Amino acid sequence: QVQVVESGGGLVQAGGSLRLSCAASGPIYRLNAMAWYRQGPGTGRDLVASITRTGITNYADSVKGRFTISRDNTKNTVYLQMNSLTPEDTAVYSCNIEGQLSHLSRPGFSTWGQGTQVTVYS
């Protein structure tokens, strides 16, 4: 019932930047951990960055120092600022959101977005 929509992907020159957004909507009581994953050509889906409800972050070694994950709890949105992009960053980026629904029992949920394409050219 919770919907997750990514945006901000596109075509960018190597060395450039993009900012991805992932907005959650629906009967949400509280969002907990949020994360960005990516799947490139011939690769599995790998964790890029994650952020807890209180702002504790974790990054894959390959993006550390270049990418920044952040969140706006008032907007139910997580962002991924990507700088110094290289062709190796080309992938479909998807966000995963965990939280609790706005029902009496506050059941937990984990929902994926459909992904946004990021293509980096030399």
Per residue in 56-67, pLDDT (tens digit) is 999 999 999 999
Whole-Å CA distances, 58 to 47, 66, 72, 98, 120: 9, 13, 17, 16, 23
For residues 8 and 4, give the distance between their C-alpha atoms in angstroms, rounded to a whole number: 14
Whether 41 has a pLDDT exceeding 90, the answer reads no
What integer pLDDT is reported at residue 87 of this predicted model? 96
Angular region, 26: left φ>0, alpha ψ -120 to 50, beta rest:
left
Whether 46 has a pLDDT exceeding 90, the answer reads yes
Contact 32, 52 (CB under 8 A): yes
For residues 27-33, give the mean pLDDT: 96
Beta strands 46-51 and 77-82 are unpaired
